Chain A
């Protein structure tokens, strides 16, 4: 059986009095591509933010392989591990944001190679070579010395994906990677993610692109109002949804 990269179990997360994640469990094995679909406000971003330690949850368990990030304490509330463990966990994943969040004052190449050098203490020349290779692979050769404001949205998102990959994560999260892009630019970005899927990169992708999700995913999760309503192969969830809420959502998307 394939190695389990991400284990997230029985997670509960609230903002004030509203519970945004209700008993969510998500396990992802090596090489697996999981898409998360669902209407806005359903808790998809919050789930990714909890998994990437940008938010903390009140209850549940989270681990990357054998690195336990959070687990239930004696009173049932989640207890987070120490700083060193969290740091180790952070080296296991990458996150691609909807609005890229590239650093505007650094060149494309610096954006991609800085974290490997500064955070992971990788040799500068080695990191540069790695970054250049990723950029070339993503059709960005010749853009290395440009700054983000000189690039199109599609190019920016490709740089952001290169930046996330350059730290060699075991799993990559995407939060609506094409939602901020003009329709004609989304395909470039989706093609890159498809290529990564073919190379068996482990990925969790929040997306509204149903055709893409159907093609690329091993598993599709439909989330609504903080719960996982339905989960299965793309055929099961997208083509033959069993739950009325899933059907209603898909009808809305295809209209």
Chain B
């Protein structure tokens, strides 16, 4: 019982940090992914190529390595000491840049699945390109990509534990420390349960959203 009075508050504090990483990543990567997807589909070849290489690199190297590179890059490459708060910056930037690459490919598949006729109808009706994208294309894309996005978002719940390598006291870091100090599996078991509940909540929200968008079919 004594153990619980330490474990639960510590894991709780860790969970808050995990949740923060999760939210910040989504807030940054969801819009950034659209920008990268549009760059990837650009008719301007150099831009499209840069986006392509970016996506390939971000998906082709471990997120853990990317986080470490961001954490220590400023010092090793530039000799700049970023201070102790930098790990949070490195963490946020690393997650956002990495997830935006995955989201970009999902957006792209969604955008390319919209029939050309919708663009043409909008063009003839006088919609600007931005209006066409935001009012005609994007709402349809969201419905189409929701299942694929859902998978990535659930992966993100679990990936937040990678912030462990930066020494950020998110839930997995806390669980590991608690397990060591109490010589017990219990902290891991509780942390696992919390991750699981977290993903169940995310799934619930995704299902609700899918139902809400079920008012039409193509």
User: Are B139 and A105 closer than 8 Å at their CB atoms?
Assistant: yes
Residue total for B at the interface (Cβ-Cβ under 8 A): 20
Are A149 and B125 touching (Cβ within 8 A)?
no
Asked whether A40 is an interface residue with its Cβ less than 8 Å from the other chain, the reply is no
The reply to whether A120 and B126 form a contact with Cβ atoms under 8 Å apart is: yes
A115 contacts B by Cβ under 8 Å:
yes
Let me know if A97 and B117 touch, CB within 8 A. yes
Q: Does A203 contact B (CB under 8 A)?
A: no
Residue of B118, B126, B135 ringed by the most chain A CB atoms within 10 A: B126
**Is the CB–CB distance between B136 and A52 below 8 Å?**
no
- In-complex Cβ contact of B217 among A149, A164, A167 (8 A): A149
Interface pair A105/B124, CB less than 8 Å apart: no
- Taking residues whose C-beta sits less than 8 angstroms from the other chain, chain A's interface range is 20 to 34
Residues of A within 8 A of B20 (CB): none
B135's partner among A53, A93, A114, A164 (CB-CB below 8 A) is: A114
A101 touches B135 (CB 8 A): no
Interface residue? A95 (CB, 8 A): yes
CA A163 to CA B125, docked complex, whole Å: 9
Q: Which of B126, B131, B216, B218 contacts A91 (CB 8 A)?
A: B126
Neighbour of A167 across the interface among B125, B139, B215, CB < 8 A: B125
CB-nearest residue of chain A to B217? A149
Distance in Å: Cβ of A61 to nearest Cβ of chain B: 21
Q: Is B143 on the interface with A (CB-CB < 8 A)?
A: yes
Interface residues of B (CB under 8 A from A): 115, 117-118, 120-121, 123-127, 131, 135-136, 139-140, 143, 215-218
Interface residues of A (CB under 8 A from B): 52-54, 87, 90-91, 93-95, 97, 99, 101-105, 114-115, 118-120, 147-149, 163-164, 167
